[in-house]
């Protein structure tokens, strides 16, 4: 069977960088085994499979080269960027059915925003649990190391400076072990100074050593920064991917209620079409 796969860079910055994802517009039913085979052939961190839904405008399934995951921000941005490229977007609001629930998509000119689940806060880790993962002297002890999720769990790790974040050398086997222990996708390292926020993301448990742009992780980070009062704003701009020579820009909108509690979270960015591939499965 021949399958057409579109490839797009999500969260690109100035039409460069970003995080590549495969996108399959399913014209025929594919088994999970076939979807996994496609994801493995492509080799990107995630591939999205778009199909019809009885509960929303579309249904989206996401596969890494290892297995299916419930949600993926950059693959969703890539999908709607491809639909936009193919002139298949006719409105500025859509809904998608995912394994994390029904989520909203907003199209604002060339920026695609994806709704996230409301934030959930989990364990706070002790610094000594990460001593084998990288140089623990780089961790900023003023802020908690915590597991947060807006759809996928990540360990959020504060780093003292952008220089230390950039030069940090990860031990992927150690990160994998900690990720497995806490049943998370991976670790999202960050540093911030006023409005400038930089990140790196490691998910070796899912065979993704480092990722150039991660939507769900940055959505969780925005909620962490807001809820704890470290940096409260309506729009967060995160930079990621510099260490991979793939500079990315991820936007996160946080909407609050009258009590200043988070009621909606959207992660967004731009996407650029790269190529079309024809695969045999």
Positions marked catalytic: 46
Q: Please name the helix (run of DSSP H) or strand (run of DSSP E) that holds residue 121, with its range, or none.
A: strand 120-125
* Beta bridge pairs of residue 237: 251
- How far apart, in whole angstroms, are the C-alpha atoms of residue 5 and residue 21? 10
- How far apart, in whole angstroms, are the C-alpha atoms of residue 51 and residue 68? 16
Q: Which residues of 113-133 are buried (b: 16+ CB within 10 A; e: fewer)?
A: bbbbbebebeeebeeeebeeb
- Please list, in sequence order, all residues whose beta carbon lies within 8 angstroms of the beta carbon of residue 5, skipping any fewer than 6 positions away: 22, 23, 24, 38, 42, 47, 276, 277, 278, 279
Quick one: residue 27, left, alpha or beta (phi over 0 = left, psi -120 to 50 = alpha)?
alpha
């Amino acid at each position: 069977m021949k399958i057409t796969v579109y490839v797009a860079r999500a969260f690109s910055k100035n039409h460069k960088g970003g995080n590549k994802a495969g996108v399959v517009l399913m014209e025929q039913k594919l088994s999970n085994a076939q979807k996994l085979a496609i994801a493995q052939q492509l080799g990107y961190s995630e591939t999205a499979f778009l199909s019809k839904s009885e509960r929303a405008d579309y249904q989206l399934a996401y596969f890494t080269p290892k297995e299916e995951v419930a949600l993926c921000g950059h693959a969703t941005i890539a999908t709607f960027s491809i639909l936009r490229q193919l002139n298949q977007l006719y409105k500025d609001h859509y809904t998608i059915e995912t394994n994390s629930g029904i989520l909203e998509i907003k199209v604002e000119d060339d920026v695609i925003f994806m709704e996230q689940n409301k934030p959930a806060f989990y364990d706070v880790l002790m610094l000594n649990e990460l001593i084998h993962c990288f140089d623990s002297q780089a961790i900023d002890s003023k802020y908690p190391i915590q597991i947060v999720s807006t759809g996928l769990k990540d360990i959020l790790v504060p780093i003292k400076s952008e220089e230390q974040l950039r030069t940090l050398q990860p031990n992927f086997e150690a990160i994998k072990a900690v990720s497995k222990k806490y049943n998370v996708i991976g670790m999202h390292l960050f540093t911030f100074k006023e409005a400038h926020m930089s990140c790196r993301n490691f998910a070796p448990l899912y065979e993704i050593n480092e990722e150039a742009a991660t939507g769900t992780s940055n959505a969780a980070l925005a909620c962490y920064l807001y809820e704890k009062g470290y940096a409260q704003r309506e729009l967060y701009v995160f930079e990621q991917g510099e260490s991979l020579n793939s500079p990315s820009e991820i936007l996160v909108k946080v909407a609050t209620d009258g009590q200043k509690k988070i009621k909606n979270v959207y992660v967004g960015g731009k996407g650029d079409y790269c190529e079309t591939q024809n695969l045999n499965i």
